[in-house]
Structure formats: structure tokens, C-alpha cells
Amino acid sequence: MRLPALRLVAAGTLLLLVGSGSARAEDLAPLHARIDQFITAGAGGPVAGQASDAEFCRRVYLDLAGRIPSLEETRAFLADGDADKRAKLIDRLLASEDHVRRMSQALHVMLMERLGDHAEWQKFLHQSVRANEPWDRIVREILNPNPDDEATRGSALWFTKRLENYGQNPVDIPGLVRDVGRHFLGIDVQCCQCHDHLFVEEYKQEYYQGLFAFVGNTSIRQDVKFPAVGQKPLEKKVEFQSVFVQKPKAVGPKLPGGAEIEIPTFAKGEEFEQQPDKKTRFPGTLKFDTLKLLAEQLPRPDNRPFTRNIANRLWWLVMGRGLVEPLDLGHAGNPPSHPELLDLLAYELAAHQFDMRWLIREIALSQAYQRSSAAADDAAATVPGAKYVVALEKQLASEQLLASIRQALGDGKPLAIDVADKSWTEWQVKFDKALANPPREPEVGHNPTVKAALFFMNDATLLAWIKPEGANLAARLLKQADGAALADELYLSVLSRPPSDEEKAEVASFLAARTDRREKAVTNLIWSLLASNEFCVNH
């Protein structure tokens, strides 16, 4: 499974020679420039121009800070004459507390898929993001949680939520095995089972069974209060039988495409490093510890699916579409839209020790990222998204919507968000209920629901925020006599852009016709923008 590193570097060089004249291997352009070369080459036609400052500002705040910019921040960015302001904004946001929150939330939604939450898990995520822990280390801590490290032991929630049994259903071990493949290798081993025209029967079952051998003996520890995983000894290979050929087979712990691990035999009672204790229900620790082995073998730079998976997911996070789509369905019959680009991203990320912040920064610096999402004409709007001729609209997670709505309706200054705050937690629960997907449905695409529409229209809490109070948006707008100035403040606060002349005129005439019920008119204006498509997506 060694990466053909030399071949990739040569390919990159070749492309540069084609694109820009001469370059030596050592003078490779920065990654974001190379990204643009691949995208441009694959576009097959004209691409949209760069996003306006307002468009860019909103987009990058949402992507990196998990909220829209405040009125103050928008005005400041628009007024800034510095030619480098975009790069500087990117760096500022990546270093901010908002980014810690945003990235923790993105990882949480990706890894837990709304199965549940726990304070220890959040602690693990936050400290990992704050310290910019590399992805391979994060995965090691998830696959082999360390109950003795208070800062990271919450990583076990990834296992324990999947080891719970729901109602009368038995524990869904197949789902757990599947998620190991989906989240960390970008391979849905269960879906492999359909593709008997692409894989040899034995291989695909082996993918599943080999992973099963690593994690099939896990259970939730009952002897501690924090999320923790126990294991029973794996004594023999996993037996399975091909459906079409009635031939019994067996496999030990084995990663897809990897080598099978020998299972040692122990005398009864000798399997444990620390003996289990029936009284305290301590499960013991094993000499042959398959989770430890999984954590050692899976998150490695020479594990191609592992590196491609994270590169693909980070690309998806900021670009709105994976190079491999769906994100968990990578196999020979489902090639990436830009194969060499994905190879490059995977290679470079591995070469940078899986520094996620580094890769996100590089992608954000690219022209492809900073492209406008509006096409020049309707024809261009129908070009497939995979060509990135326009920037793709991205769904906003419920966490981003809560923060953005609070920001838009607030006092215009940047929000100081404390996710542990009691009110904020309650609001998040409410927003999740209305806007998040049901458990195990990945939040990867636009999925408008009747539930969400009703929430925006009639939720008491949300509507109360819109009403004028203190220095909030409605209160400030009501103080504005001038229609144009009101429109300015409204659009900059909610949509993070100045209104067009058309919009200014419409706001003014709308309000002029409703002087007897100005408050209602203003709140309706605010609501209409909040509930609009422009606000509710990341464009």
C-alpha cells in the first residue's frame, strides 16, 4: 500500500510544465495554486469570476468561524483597502476561538451523525481542535480510547454510542463495522456487498469480516462513569460463508487491502494484561488488543484509503462537494471527479503530518474556493457541480444557523458564544430538533423540510428574537428614519452585504406604506430575509 510518491511528484511537475513554462521539482507552486490548475483544467469552459468581498467574507466566516460576520466585521472588511485582506482574514479566523467551536461542531456532526453527545466527547473534540491535533492522532484516540487520559478519554463516545442497543434491537455491530469503514477509510463495506460485478465475492465479504474482527468484541464499560470501551479476547478467526459458493471461510483482523494479523493463542485466563474483575465489572486489558492494533494500523500515511478519505472530507467541508461522492463510497467503480487532485491532496496532507488546518487554509486560498456562486447566465448555472465553474452552495448545519441567526439579530458586534451556556444549549437542542437530520443520516446535502419551514414561520423563541429589544437589530432599525440607511443596516446585518439600489427602493417604499404599523413591517422585513434562501445557505 505504499504511495507511488515519485509518480505523483512527477505528475505535478508535468502539469506545471504544461501550464506555466518551466519549473523544477523543488520549486513547486503552493498547493492552492496547484488546486486551481487541476480545477481549471477540468472545468471544460469558462468559470465564474471571483466572489465579491461581501460574498467571500460571509462564506469564509461561515466555513471557518461557524457564523456569519457581525455588522461591524462586515463593514470593516468591505472598507479595508489591504490587497491581502482575504488571506489575512483566513488566518485570523483560523486562529480564533470561533474556529475551535466551528471545527469541533463539524467533526461532531461528521463522526457522531446525531447519535448523541457527551461532555467528555466535546472536551476531547475541543482540545483536539484547539491544539490543532493532526487527524491521524485524533483517529488513533477514537479507535483506541485511552481511559486514563482525562483530556481525550471522551473519544470513546464514538464507540459507545454505537454499542448501545435501541429499544429491543440488539447492539448494531454491523453498523459499527460499517462506520469504521465509512468514517476513517471512505469505504462503505456493507455497500460493497451489492457490487458483485466490481469485486470478487470473497473480497468484499472479507473487507467487512476483517474489520469486524478488530471491533466485534467491544462493549460499553459499565464500571466507569465516563464513556469507555471494553473488549473480550478475540480467540479465533471470524467465520463466514460466501453466499454464492457454499464454502466456509475465516479471517482474522485485517484492514481492506492490508495484511491479516495472526491471532495468538493463550491458555485460558492468560489473555489478559490486567485481569477482569467480576465485582467491579472492570473488563480487564488484553495482551492481544485488537483496538490497539487497529489504531496502529489504520491511521497511517501509507494507508491510501485513510489519507484519501480525510482529504476528500476536508475538501467537501469547504468546497461543498466531495471529490468522491458520496463521501463514504470510494471504490473502483466510483472514481473521483478529479483523480490527480485527490491524490495530490492526500499526499500533501500526509506529508504535512495530517495538519487539517493547513489543508483547509490552502483550499481557502485557492481561486476555486473564492469563486462566485452566481453564474453569469442561466446556462452556466446548469453545469454539473463537480466542475466547480461556480462555487457550490452549501447546506448550513443547525449549529451554524443558530449562531448566525443570533449574530444577525444581535447588537451588531461579534457574538461571544459559549456553547456550555445553559440558554445556548437549550436553543441548540431546539434548533437540532427542527433542522438537523435524524440519527445516522449524514448531513451532506441540501435537505429542506416542512419541519424546518414551520420552525422558521412559527417558533416562539425565534420570533421573539426578531422583536425589538434593547440594542438588537429590530430596535436599531426602528430608530432609523431614513429608508436607505435602514436597508443598509438590515442587509448588512442579516445577509452580510449591502443592498442593491432596487432593494433600497423597495424597502423604503414598503415602509412608507406602513407607517401606522412600522414595528410589524420592520419585523416582517427582518423575517423575510432570515427565512430566505440567501440566508439559509452558505453561498
Partner 1 sequence: MNYSHLCTPTDHVLSRRAILGAAGAIGLGSLLAPTRAAELQKKHKQVLFIWIDGGMSQLESWDPKPNTVFGGPFRAIATSVPGIHVSELLPRSAKIMQHLAIIRSVHTQDNSHSAGVARIQRGDPKNRGVTYPYFGSAVAKLLGPGDSGLPPYVWIKPGSSGFIHQDAGFLGPKFGAVAFGDGKPPENLVLHESLKPEEDDERNTLRQAANARYARGRRKQMGEATSYVYDVARTLMKWQDLFDTSKFDPRDVERYGTHEIGRHMLQARKMLEAGVTFVKVNSYGWDTHGDNFNGHLSLMPKFDQAFAAIVQDLADRSMLDNVLVIAMSEFGRTPRINGHIGRDHWPEAWSVVMAGSGLKRGLVVGETNDKGTFVKGDEHDIGALFHTWFAALGIDSKTVEYDNGGQPLPIAHEGMQAVKELLA
Which residues of the shown chain bind partner 1 in the complex (CB under 8 A)?
A: 191, 193-196, 243, 325-326, 329, 333-334, 373-378, 380-382, 384-385, 393, 433-434, 438, 444-455, 457-460, 463, 467, 503, 506, 510, 520, 524-525, 527-529, 531-534, 536-537, 539
Provide the minimum distance between the beta carbon of 58 and partner 1 in the complex, in angstroms, as a whole number: 13
Instruction: Fill in the DSSP letter of residue 25.
Output: G
Residue whose CB is less far from partner 1, 284 or 442: 442
Residue whose CB is less far from partner 1, 104 or 373: 373
Provide the minimum distance between the beta carbon of 325 and partner 1 in the complex, in angstroms, as a whole number: 4
C-alpha count within 13 angstroms, C-beta hemisphere, residue 217:
22
Contacts of 223 (CB under 8 A, 6+ apart): 277, 280, 281, 282, 283
Provide the minimum distance between the beta carbon of 265 and partner 1 in the complex, in angstroms, as a whole number: 29
User: Is 147 within 8 Å of 153 (Cβ atoms)?
Assistant: yes
Cα torsion 501, 502, 507, 512: sign: positive
Residue whose CB is less far from partner 1, 221 or 497: 497
Residue 508's Cβ-count burial label (10 Å; 0-12, 13-18, 19+) is middle
Residue whose CB is less far from partner 1, 325 or 348: 325
- Provide DSSP, 116-140: ---HHHHHHHHHHHHTT--HHHHHH
User: What SS3 state is found at 229?
Assistant: strand
Residue whose CB is less far from partner 1, 28 or 375: 375
Alpha carbon of residue 411 to chain centroid: 29
C-alpha count within 13 angstroms, C-beta hemisphere, residue 19:
18
Provide the minimum distance between the beta carbon of 101 and partner 1 in the complex, in angstroms, as a whole number: 26
Provide the minimum distance between the beta carbon of 287 and partner 1 in the complex, in angstroms, as a whole number: 33
Cell of 490: 438590515
Cα torsion 356, 432, 116, 410: sign: positive
Provide the minimum distance between the beta carbon of 337 and partner 1 in the complex, in angstroms, as a whole number: 10
Provide the minimum distance between the beta carbon of 369 and partner 1 in the complex, in angstroms, as a whole number: 18
What number of residues does the chain have? 539
Provide the minimum distance between the beta carbon of 442 and partner 1 in the complex, in angstroms, as a whole number: 8
Residue 117's nearest CA partner among 429, 435, 423 is 429
Residue whose CB is less far from partner 1, 30 or 445: 445
Residue whose CB is less far from partner 1, 7 or 520: 520
User: What SS3 state is found at 423?
Assistant: helix
Rounded Cα gap, residues 189 and 265, in angstroms: 28
Rounded Cα gap, residues 96 and 100, in angstroms: 7
Residue whose CB is less far from partner 1, 138 or 477: 477
